[in-house]
Structure 1
Amino acid sequence: MTEELAAEQRAALVLIPGLSCDRHVWQAQVSGLSGIADISIGDTLKDDSIALMASRVLEAAPARFALAGFSMGGYVAMEIWRRAPERVLRLALVDTNARGDTPEQADLRRAAIRTAQTRGFESVLRGSLRQLVAPECPEALFEEVVQMAQRVGFGTYMDQQAAIIDRADSLETLATVTVPAMVMVGAADALTPPRLAEEMVQALPGATYEVIAGAGHMAPMEQPDAVNAAFRRWLISRAA
């Protein structure tokens, strides 16, 4: 299969970043998939609710597009499907979760904010982000993740955590998906582990399932070649 497609054959692909992530989280996909997709990055840095993020992404997106969301971006992608399914050609959910937060999970998020306020944002980042990558993750890559979160900043982190706490449960929404769907998860993802990905696969009609070896939660950055290969398969798959 050729890596390049003519302009009229390339899909419009909208990629949505996760919590404390900017467009850098998708850098390897923008570079590696540019020959088969016209890629844009959804803006999740200005709003404090998943609904507002979804509205902003939809306002900037092409008329019809393939859609992929990573982590918090998956929550935004599922909200976009609820709002405008006629515009979504394909749906990919990467290292994410279809369920809403439990009260205990919401309390942990609020506690993380309080800890960052007292101990400093970078200190909390270095402790929490280490849990988001596979044990074998190179130190240089881990530093990229930390620097990205610092660029996004503590204010945005607080807004995004509030948005995540208040998000809708989307498990039942997945049963309504009628386009080619893919669920992807890092094999060592401790935040949204494979059991949650498998739950989404079971709920999504005909979804493909990609487990990325050697990756934790930050699979798009940790194992870009494997992630890009899975995206290529999804982008060229035929609709049922």
Structure 2
Amino acid sequence: MRAAERFAGTGDASVIACGRPRPGLSPRVAGPGERLSPRTQVGAWMLAFDAYGEPTGPRVVLVHGWPLRRDIWAEVAPLVASAGFYVLAPDLPGFGESPPMGFERASVEAYADDLAAFLEPFGDRVALAGHSFGGYVALALAERRPELLCGLALISSRTIADSEVARAGRHETIAKVRAEGTEALLPSLADKLLGPKASARMRDRAAALVSTSRPDGVIAGLAAMASRPDRTAVLERFPASVLIVHGSADALIPVREAAQPARTSGSLRLILLPGVGHMPMWEAPQATSDAIVHWAKASHAERP
């Protein structure tokens, strides 16, 4: 099946997203500050994603965290695209507008395989950045399909597995969400997402995202995170550019857990954002986008 045939959105956007326009169509690209929102077929369901910039540009893929969705990148993605990159921000299965994968299949590896299927039609290697849970998925993809990547970035994420206490806490949260819905995650999670300097409007935005997330997606994500292995060695061996961005006031993943691992190849850049919590793309969008652009340029320059 050709790449263009795997896309099933509507209008030009679905065709532009794979960079192979069908005969008779006049391709349209996103203008400055504009995004296109097509869908792509992955297995038996559709993944929603936003696309920013010229499809001919080197690709940067931004993966959201749990229990969030692709529009967390709405401030950062246009800034990255303005540097000449084609930026893709998908909703992982069960989040945002993408249907769930099912609890019985839930694992970080399954999310990584779905992300690989999403990336394959785009052709060239991508610079892949994952936020929090999205970082776990990105690490799994780097382990399973390294040939798809020219760079890896972890934003408010970590390489280590859950402790027994953390794993038990995730299963307790699964039971609570099953009984009470996603509002059971409030207010503690919404408060912990942001640093002390975040505005009331930003906190309301975080609470709205958490409370409107899909229970089935939330539960599958929790199960996947609880079962993930330590992938520190994956990052240490990754042969291309690595970026770590972390807020000094992150209440969900302490800075010490994002500390620079030993590296046996490639380059690593660690950026610590003072006073920023778990959401640097909201709390420090310019600094976050600057870091992504610097890393993405290095990643694409180094690729074979």
When normalised by structure 2's length, the TM-score is 0.72
Distance 1:204 1:186, change over 3 A: farther
- CA distance in 1: counterparts of 2:233 and 2:150, whole angstroms: 19
Deviates more, 1:67-76 or 1:102-111: 102-111
The answer (yes or no) to whether the contact 1:182–1:234 under 8 Å persists in 2 is yes
The structural deviation recorded for 1:167 is 1.1
Deviations 1:191-228 (A, max 9, x none): 1121111144x347430001122310111122111111
- CA distance in 2: counterparts of 1:204 and 1:111, whole angstroms: 38
Rg: which structure is higher? 2
Deviations 1:80-113 (A, max 9, x none): 1111111201110110110111111111112223
Distance 1:50 1:8, change over 3 A: closer
CA RMSD of aligned residues (A): 2.2
2:302 corresponds in structure 1 to: 239
- CA distance in 1: counterparts of 2:176 and 2:189, whole angstroms: 11
Matched, 1:209 2:270: yes
Unaligned runs of 5+ in 2: 1-31, 33-52, 95-99
Query: 3-state DSSP class of the match of 2:259?
Result: helix
- CA distance in 1: counterparts of 2:212 and 2:113, whole angstroms: 23
Deviations 1:105-161 (A, max 9, x none): 111112223344555532432222202211121111111112122332222111100
1:198 corresponds in structure 2 to: 259
- CA distance in 2: counterparts of 1:170 and 1:159, whole angstroms: 20
The structural deviation recorded for 1:186 is 0.8
Matched, 1:17 2:17: no
The answer (yes or no) to whether the contact 1:214–1:223 under 8 Å persists in 2 is no
The answer (yes or no) to whether the contact 2:60–2:88 under 8 Å persists in 1 is yes
Alignment of 1:67-106 (within 5 A): 67-106=128-167
Alignment of 1:165-184 (within 5 A): 165-184=226-245
Alignment of 1:70-149 (within 5 A): 70-118=131-179, 121-149=182-210
User: Identity percentage over the alignment?
Assistant: 23
- CA distance in 2: counterparts of 1:208 and 1:59, whole angstroms: 28
When normalised by structure 1's length, the TM-score is 0.89
* Number of residues of Structure 1 aligned to a counterpart in Structure 2: 235
The answer (yes or no) to whether the contact 2:153–2:242 under 8 Å persists in 1 is yes
The structural deviation recorded for 1:185 is 0.3
- CA distance in 1: counterparts of 2:234 and 2:77, whole angstroms: 28
